[in-house]
Chain A
Amino acid sequence: MHEYAIVAELVRQVESEARRAGAAAVTRVTVAIGDLSGVERGLLATAYDVFRGRTVCETAELSLRAVPAVWSCPGCARDVAPGAVLSCPDCVVPARLRQGDEIVLERIEMEVA
């Protein structure tokens, strides 16, 4: 359960960006969490609600964007079927994770005076 530590870093980054932009209030933060990131979105949302009080995020809704895991062949670009062996049957090379490991602060919506 490391979602509280993730939220602490998230709030720190939002604070830093909001200060730099001269924000009067932050209204929304959008975060991308991949299915293979090791972060559980439900726990992250709960941790955010507990942690955001008296921070710059107090007025900010959290939007979580789920990113499904997609493995594909670096040779022929074909996707590997979910649950299959992570190797391209044609090119016989290890698959590469194309998306799904994101733990990313994507966007901050704010009001600037």
Chain B
Amino acid sequence: MCEKKAEEAVSLEVHQRILSRNDETARHNREHFDRLGTIAVNLMGSPGSGKTALLEATARRGNRRVAALAGDLETDRDAQRLAAAGIPSLPITTGSACHLDAGMVHRALHDLPLEGIRLLAIENVGNLVCPAVYDLGQHASVVALSVTEGEDKPLKYPVMFRTADLVVITKVDLLPHLDVDVRAIRNNLARVMPRPRAIEVSSRTGEGIDQWMQWLDELCEAATAPLQEARA
């Protein structure tokens, strides 16, 4: 019974998502949002694609009870810009990490009260690849794509656009100065997004911001949970 056996080779089938721990934390975040009646949007895009400007333009449209988390490798400049625009904001400084993960958002939520907040914009690190890999617990994913980035970005970075619920084509006021055709951008989006949806905006002139606000309103209306009011 106690004879010594030789080591035995064993093959163990696991089939588990490597990011299962992030998925678990994301689920936890989503439950937190749902409990409070807050809709979370993961706003992604290249550095300089106009993510912060889009949120500033959102704030200029009045009281929509918006708060924001702003991810950046260094500095809290985006969070400062958003706070100056009237959006309660917290920075998430990632150091060398090229993306936000669900744990970073979870930790930040301890310091950002969401009672009375209808929309939480999570401005991801400027990067067209890595942020798409990590679920943060958001209800919708939005990619900001500026017309200055050219027509072929969707084909070059399909992963980010595949999971997007909406693409906001930004800086359209610059189109007269560029050899860029928005129809070509839309055509390329249809090859990487199964439900291609895009709106064209200029945060500077306000063009298209109505459509963006309407999309946000529809997103919030689709949510079933009532908004939990701020405690007095």
Least distance between A14 CB and chain B CB atoms (Å): 9
Closest chain B residue to A20 by CB distance? B12
A37 and B12 in contact (CB under 8 A), knowing A2-B98, A85-B191?
no
Asked whether, in the complex, the Cβ of B18 is within 8 Å of the Cβ of A105, the reply is: yes
A111 and B10 in contact (CB under 8 A), knowing A6-B18, A31-B18, A103-B19?
yes
CA gap between A86 and B193 in the complex, in Å: 7
A103 and B17 in contact (CB under 8 A), knowing A2-B99, A37-B159?
yes
Closest chain A residue to B11 by CB distance? A109
Restricting to B1-22, which residues have a CB under 8 Å from any CB of A? 5, 7-22
CA gap between A13 and B16 in the complex, in Å: 9
Q: Encode contact with A along B208-227: 1 for CB under 8 Å, 0 otherwise.
A: 00000000000000000000
Residues of A within 8 A of B11 (CB): 107-109
Interface membership of A99, Cβ < 8 A = no
CA gap between A112 and B17 in the complex, in Å: 24
A104 and B191 in contact (CB under 8 A), knowing A2-B130, A38-B132, A38-B133?
no
Restricting to A24-61, which residues have a CB under 8 Å from any CB of B? 24-25, 27, 31, 36-39
Interface membership of B158, Cβ < 8 A = yes
Interface membership of B114, Cβ < 8 A = no
Number of B residues, CB within 8 Å of A: 37
Asked whether, in the complex, the Cβ of A5 is within 8 Å of the Cβ of B97, the reply is: yes
Closest chain A residue to B160 by CB distance? A38
CA gap between A96 and B194 in the complex, in Å: 7
Restricting to B167-204, which residues have a CB under 8 Å from any CB of A? 190-196
Q: Encode contact with B along A70-106: 1 for CB under 8 Å, 0 otherwise.
A: 0100000000000111110000001111000101111
Residues of A within 8 A of B158 (CB): 36
CA gap between A86 and B163 in the complex, in Å: 13
Closest chain B residue to A25 by CB distance? B7
Residues of B within 8 A of A25 (CB): 7
A105 and B98 in contact (CB under 8 A), knowing A83-B191, A96-B194, A97-B162?
no
Asked whether, in the complex, the Cβ of B14 is within 8 Å of the Cβ of A106, the reply is: yes
Interface membership of B129, Cβ < 8 A = yes
Asked whether, in the complex, the Cβ of A104 is within 8 Å of the Cβ of B16, the reply is: yes
Asked whether, in the complex, the Cβ of A2 is within 8 Å of the Cβ of B133, the reply is: yes
A95 and B194 in contact (CB under 8 A), knowing A17-B14, A109-B11, A113-B7?
yes
Asked whether, in the complex, the Cβ of A37 is within 8 Å of the Cβ of B133, the reply is: yes
Interface CB pairs A-B, < 8 A, 30: A2-B97, A2-B133, A5-B97, A6-B18, A6-B19, A9-B18, A9-B21, A13-B16, A13-B20, A21-B12, A27-B9, A36-B162, A37-B133, A37-B159, A38-B132, A38-B160, A39-B133, A85-B190, A86-B194, A97-B162, A97-B194, A103-B18, A103-B133, A104-B15, A105-B14, A105-B15, A107-B11, A111-B7, A112-B9, A113-B7
Q: A38-B160, A112-B7 are in contact. List 15 more A-B contacts (CB 8 A).
A: A2-B98, A2-B134, A10-B18, A12-B21, A13-B16, A13-B18, A36-B162, A86-B190, A86-B191, A86-B192, A87-B194, A94-B195, A107-B11, A110-B9, A112-B9
Which B residues lie at the A interface, using CB under 8 A? Answer: 5, 7-22, 97-99, 101, 129-130, 132-134, 158-160, 162, 190-196
